[in-house]
Chains A and B, each alone.
Chain A
Amino acid sequence: MTTAADDLILGLIRIVDLPGLTAAAGQPLAAEDIEAVVREADRFAREAIAPGWQTADRAGARLENGLVRAPEHYLPLYGQWVEGGWQGLAAPEAHGGQGLPHALWSAVLELCSAADMSFTLCPLLTAGAVELLAHHATPDQAERWLPELVAGRWTGTMCLTEPQAGSDLSRLRARAEPAPDGSWRLFGQKIFISWGEHDLTENTLHLVLARLPGAEAGSRGISLFAAPRLLPDGRRNAVSCGGLEHKMGIHGSPTCIMLFDGAEAELIGAPHRGLQAMFAMMNAARLAVGVQGVGQGARALAMAETFAATREQGGKTIDQYPDVARMLAEMRATTLAGRLLALEAAASLDRARLLKSPEAEARLALLTPIVKAWCTDRGVEAASLGVQVHGGMGFCEDAGAAQILRDARIAPIYEGTNGIQALDLVTRKLPRDGGALLRTLLAEAVLVAPAIGQAAATVEQAIPAMLGAGGPVGASRFLDACGWVLGAAMVARAAAADPAHAATRDIFLRRLLPRAIAAAEEAMAG
C-alpha cells in the first residue's frame, strides 16, 4: 500500500512532470529534490503536527479579555513551522522565499492539512496574503511586509465577509476614510475571519475589502486595504476581535468577528479595484481548499485502514468483509483522484507562470472550481465513510474519525461555496470558449483510458444545456460529473506510471465512474 507521500512524489515527478516543467523554465528541480522536500514535510506533518490534533480540537481557541489564545501546543509547533522555513516554499526569492513551484506547496499543504487542518489553515492564509501582496503591493509595501509574512513571523488574514455580504460581496459596507497623512482609517465589521486574532505571532496583517468615500455601490466600488494588528511604533491598531464563532469543526482555528474602529490602513493596488486584486489570489486559495478536502480524505482513509486491519469480528479482521473493503476502496480511489487532480491544477498554475502559457492559464481557470468543489465533496464523503468503517466507535469522539468529518465539512463551504464554484464553472469558465477546452480535457481523459468514453460522452452531451438556461440549475451536478471523469483519468495515469495503482484504477472505472453519467444526466434533467 502506498502512502500519501509516495503518491504525491509519484504525481509530482511522473504524472505532472515537475522536473520537466521546471527544467523548461530554466529553474530545474530534480526528482531527488522533490522527493527530499516531500519526505521531510511528511515527517514533520506526521511527527510534529499530527500528535496534538485531537487536543487542539478539544481545547479549541479561546477569547480571553479581548485576546485570542490558540490551543496551547500550537505556539511551540508554530515556532517549529517557522524554523523549518516551510512558509516560504512557493514565495518569491526576492522576499526571502524559496521560489519553488506551487505544485510542491500543494503537496506539502495536503500532508500538513491531513495532520491538522485547523493549524495548517493559518499558514495557508498567510501564503494567500503573500501571493496577493507579491502581485499588488508597491515595492515599498512589499519590502515592509513580505519578508515578515514569508518567514512566518507575521500571519495574514483575508477580511472579506460581512454579516449581510457572504457570497455576494457587492453588499459590502465596511468603509475607509482618508487620514491627513494620506493613509486610511477603516470602519466596519467583518465576520468569519479565520485566524483573525491569535497569540502565535507578534503581528498580523489584515487584508481588508472596504469602500472609499463616494465609491459606487456594488462590486465596482470596492477597494483593498492592509491593516496591521500592531503599528510600526508598537501601538495596537484599532482592530479587535469581538467574538469567536462556536463551530461544527476546525475548533483549533479561531474564527473571529473583527471590529475595525478607525484602524490605520494602507490602500493596496488601485482604488475601486479591490475585488480584482482579491480574485488574483482566489485561484490559489480555492486550490488550497480543494487540497484540504484531499487531506481530510487521506487522513480518514489512513485511520480507517488501520482500524479495519486490526478490528476482528466473526473470526477475521473487518477489512476482509466485502462491504468494508468496498468502502476502503472507494476512499482510496477518490482520495488518489483528488490528490492528483489538485496537483494537475497546481502544475497548470506553475506552467502558466513559469512558461507564460495562456493555455495552462485557461486549464487552471477551468480546473480550479472543479478541484475546489469535487475534492472537498469527496473529502466529506471519505470522512463519512471513515466514520462508517469505525462503526459505533466512529460515532464516539475518541476514535478521531468523527473529528475528520466535522473538520472536513467546512471545506465545501468556505472560499466560495461549492454551489458558487459550480456557477463559476458553468456561467463564467465554460462560456469563455463555448466549452472547447472542457471538450479537450474530456477527449484527453478518453485517450488515457478508453473505458472513460461513455462517461465523457454523457458529460459532453450536457455542455449545451449548461451553456443555456438550464446551466444554473444543473451546475453542481455537472461539475460533479466533470470531476468524476477527470478524476478517473488521473487515477488511470497513476496506474500507468505505477502498477501499484492498477487495482484502484479498475475499481474507479468499474464502480465509481458511472456516477459521472448519473450526475451529467441529472444536470441535463433541469
Chain B
Amino acid sequence: MKNILASVIGVMFFVIAACPCNADPSNDALSSSQPPTTFKLVLSAKENPEKTTNPLDEDYHEDENLDEYANNEIKEERVDIADPLESVNRVTHQFNDKLYFWAVKPVAQGYKEVVPESARISVKNFFSNLGFPARFLSCLLQADLSGAATEARRFTINTVWGIGGLLDPSSGKELNLQEQNTDLGQTLGVWGIGQGFYIVWPVFGPSTPRDTVSIAGNYFLDPVAYLNPWSARMGVNVLDKVNAASLRIGDYEALKDAAVDPYVAFRDAYVQYRYKRVKARQAKWSSSPGPAETSVPANPESSKRGQ
C-alpha cells in the first residue's frame, strides 16, 4: 500500500516537474495562436481565390500585426543610414580590409601562438578597466546613476582586488556588477541626436559623425593617451588592438564571407548594432524618471532619478 502511494506521489512529482506549465504568459498566447493563423489564411484566400498552398507562390506581406506591439522594443526595426560618401567609404573599407589581412591578423595570430588565452583575457580586462572614465562619464551624462555607481564600484573592486584590472571579479555571480556597455556616441543618441551619415575611418572603421565623438572623447578620457613618450603610447595601443583581435580571429572573416556585398553588410551591421544600443540606453533612461515616457527630454538633468 505504502509502495503504491509512494509511486503515485513519485509519478505526480515527475509529471508536474516535466509539465511545461510555467507562469509565462506566453503560454496563454500559445493556446490562442491557432485561431489567428486560420483567420489569416481565410483572409488571404479571400484576396486570392485561386491560391495554391505553395508558399513560394505567396506574395510578401509586411508584418501588419507587429504594429500592435509598437511599444514593444523588440519589434522588428528597419534602420537605414544615408551614405553620401559611399565612394570614398568603399575605398577606406578596402584599406581597412587589407590592413586587417596583411598586418593585424598575422600579428594577432603570432601573438595568439605565444600568449595563452587566459593571459590574453587578462590583458583585455586590463584595457577594459582603463576604459572606465569614458563609461562612467557617459552614464552620468545619461542620468543613469545606477549605471555610474556600478561602473565606479567595478573600477574600485577590479583595480584593488583584480590586480590592477587584470581580473574581473566584479562580474562574477556573487557581485554581479556588469560592465555598462556605453560610450559618448550613445550618450548623444540618448539625447536625441540622430546618427547622421555613414563614415568609414581608416583604422577605426565604421562610424558616424555622432559616434566619431566617442573616438575623439576616448582620446581625452583614456589614460593610455596620457602616456608620455609617444612611442610608449603607440606600443600600448597596438598591444590593446592586437590582443583584442587575437580573441576575435575569424569573426571578421565569417561576416565578410557570409556577405554578398561586404561593404553594405558591415554598414548595415554597424547601424543595426548602434541603433539597438542607443535604444536600450534610451529605454533605461525613460524607465527611470516616470511612467511611459518615450520622448527624450531636451535637458538630461531634468530626468534624474528621484526628482
Are A and B physically bound partners?
A: no
